[in-house]
């Protein structure tokens, strides 16, 4: 799954120099507004799709949590009826290790 960086508020694009008021400058401004509107609509569609995927994943996780919880309860119930099993011996000692630093 690709990770999308969080974005802040989208600010309108500003020109560094004011344009002379003409039909061409108004058409350019209209083009900028329309493209920004399309981009934002596409972003909303993407957010809705992502929301659906996340909701499905949450329900799957909840089902897995419930199943695992039931397995734990069943295991506890069956374990209480069975005699305890001897635990295996540990064949190594943990206090034989020494720490050292390497400088380079």
Domain ranges of the chain: 23-79
- List the structure tokens of 89: 């011996």
The per-residue DSSP string of the chain comes to --------PPPPP--SSPPP-SHHHHHHHHHHHHHHHHHHHHHHHHHHHHHHHHHHHHHHHHHHHHHHHHHHHHHHHHHHHSPPPPPPPP-S-GGG--------
Q: Give the residue-averaged pLDDT of 84-102.
A: 60
Give me the pLDDT at residue 20, please: 80
pLDDT in tens, 33-83: 999 999 999 999 999 999 999 999 999 999 999 999 999 999 888 866 655
């Amino acid at each position: 799954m690709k990770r999308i960086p969080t974005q802040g508020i989208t600010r309108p694009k500003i020109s560094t120099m004011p344009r002379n008021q003409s039909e061409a400058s108004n058409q350019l401004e209209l083009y900028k507004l329309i493209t920004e509107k399309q981009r934002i609509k596409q972003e909303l569609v993407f957010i809705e799709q992502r929301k659906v995927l996340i909701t499905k994943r949450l329900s799957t996780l909840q089902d897995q949590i419930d199943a695992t919880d039931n397995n734990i309860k069943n295991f506890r119930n069956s374990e209480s009826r069975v005699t305890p099993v001897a635990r295996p011996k540990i064949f190594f000692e943990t206090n034989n290790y020494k720490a050292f630093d390497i400088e380079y």
